[in-house]
Chain A
Amino acid sequence: MNQRRKLKVVALVCERSVDFKDKLDNAHYMSECPDVNVIQLPCSGQIQPAMIEAALKGGADGIITTGCRIGDCHYREGNKFLRARILGERQPKLRASVDRKRLQAYWLSALEYHRFKEMAGEFVEFLSGYQPETPQKPEKKAPSKAAE
């Protein structure tokens, strides 16, 4: 593997979906994918769009949100609500100015850690070569996105 800068990818994960038992180090980094820091929450429905905005503002290269399979949320609808919020279909919406290329969501059950690892790996690969079109000034894109 060639030397590249270590990325800062934050994964906000529902504690009932992907099972990270024995997969994280003490600082919550995935031992098999050290660019990804995992923060576990009771449900993906708890994730506020503000959390995603704050993380990107704080310098995160990418954000992964993970909930249970669509159709199967322990609290009935948390994962659907989160997806709708990021897609801008449900209040409170994620700001239109947020760079959507830095966001991914995985919907996986507790048995599907390996798929998480694979997809997170690909996402990290993508992010390591990713250059935003208008770095540091995402506001410029805002009107066009909002108009869509």
Chain B
Amino acid sequence: MSQATTNVYAGIIAQFQRLTLFIERILNSTFSQKYNPFYYHGALPNFFLWVLFISGLLLFAYYNPTLEGAYPSLEYMTKQIPSGALFRALHRYAADGMMIFVLLHFFRVWFTDRYREYRILPWITGVILITVLYLAGLTGYMLIWDSESVALTYMTVNFLNSIPGIGSSLASLLIGGDIVTDYTLTRYLFLHLGIPASMLFLLWWHYLRITRPVTNAPLVLNLMLFGGLLVACGLWPVGIGEAPNLATPSASIEVDWLYMLPHGMLANGASPFLAWVVLLGIPVAMLLLPYLQKKQFRGQFAQVVNENCTGCSLCYHDCPYEAIEMMDRDDDTRFKRIAVVDPGRCANCGLCVGACAFKAIEIPRMNTERVFKEIQVALGSAQS
């Protein structure tokens, strides 16, 4: 990456950062900083995840994953069970809401430059999480098994078949054989339950390097999100399409662009190749983004001044990225433990410096001695 390109990219990101701050300033004036949704961007998708789990549980209880039974079970849920249709609607709109807020999270983290170097692990697991969420949502639409779902299945199978070589085996992996059978529905159910289950593991990984992740938004924001969700359900009720017919599937599908990006492109006449380029290009581009900018503090990290460290572990508790570990020490001091910094995790932020009362930890980019000196200079020159 040439210097010029890197600079142009950094300049663009800086402008987006100003835009983000501008939006936040507006939100601060309405929500105040206590409830600014942008300050809980990572926690908001979790709320939808809980709604999805709970509403999904109720749908799972009634779902019949067979070729003949799937549609009647959906019909039963929608038309016979009190509030069953409402739970279906909640499940669908929570899925859309989750993707929307995940994307908000993604863009804010990107624009505010909180995605690279010491944050690379959350970034990579985040991209995997978005992909996994996409697959979970897509399989959910197939699971409904009305006429449109059949069309969606055929479309996906053709889309997979368009890959030379491995395409047909991927397609049979998806539908559980060469043709649509009972196993197709079982496979869909497995995918739609298994993929979200993997999200729990991925989320743990996502939070691994963050000492105190914010996983829940305040009650007020959750209340408003749930309110919004219910209003969406009330305004646009979710029904059920025509009974499936394998020979004549629905001629068109209602495209949910959040979960059917390639399908929407195909339905609008794009070639499968282009749809694949977009589908695979987006996550690959996301993964490459952190490497477009030069490292800020190459090779720098917080330095423990061994002779001053008392092993009090205040820096260990305050480090936001789990970069400090307390180790046993057996040198000639009377202290039993010492702080040790993991260079790969260190953000050079200086929070450990603020936590230290013994001048025992320093970050190279702004030594405490330099701060004290600057204070002295400021006070000395003011006297004249």
Direct contact between the two chains A and B in their complex (CB within 8 A): yes
Q: Interface size of B by Cβ–Cβ distance < 8 Å?
A: 45
> Interface stretch among A64-72, A127-135, A137-145?
A64-72
Flag if B368 contacts A48 (CB, 8 Å): yes
Flag if A45 contacts B351 (CB, 8 Å): yes
Instruction: Give Cα distance in the complex from A81 to B320, angstroms.
Output: 11
Q: How far is the CB of B143 from chain A (nearest CB, A)?
A: 38
Instruction: Give Cα distance in the complex from A112 to B374, angstroms.
Output: 24
Q: How far is the CB of B54 from chain A (nearest CB, A)?
A: 28
Instruction: Give Cα distance in the complex from A7 to B38, angstroms.
Output: 38
* Residues of chain A within 8 A of B21, CB atoms compared: 109-111
* Residues of chain B within 8 A of A107, CB atoms compared: 33
Flag if B378 contacts A37 (CB, 8 Å): yes
* Residues of chain A within 8 A of B363, CB atoms compared: 42, 46
Instruction: Give Cα distance in the complex from A60 to B28, angstroms.
Output: 33
User: With A45-B354, A81-B354 known to touch, is A10 a contact of B349 (CB < 8 Å)?
Assistant: no
Contact of B351 among A81, A109, A110 (CB under 8 A): A81
* Residues of chain B within 8 A of A12, CB atoms compared: 371
Flag if A46 contacts B33 (CB, 8 Å): no
**A-side interface size class:** 35 or more
For A8, A43, A58, A112, the residue with the greatest tally of chain B CB atoms inside 10 Å of its CB is A43
Q: How far is the CB of A33 from chain B (nearest CB, A)?
A: 13
Flag if A82 contacts B354 (CB, 8 Å): yes
Cβ of A47 under 8 Å from chain B: yes
Instruction: Give Cα distance in the complex from A85 to B356, angstroms.
Output: 12
Cβ of A6 under 8 Å from chain B: yes
Cβ of B348 under 8 Å from chain A: yes
Residues in chain B within 8 A of chain A (CB atoms): 17-18, 21-22, 24-25, 28, 33-34, 36, 38-39, 112-114, 210, 212, 314, 318, 320, 347-351, 353-357, 363, 365-366, 368, 371-372, 374-379, 381-383
**Those 8 A-B pairs whose CB atoms lie nearest each other, nearest first:** A46-B350, A71-B39, A75-B349, A92-B357, A37-B378, A45-B351, A8-B382, A76-B320
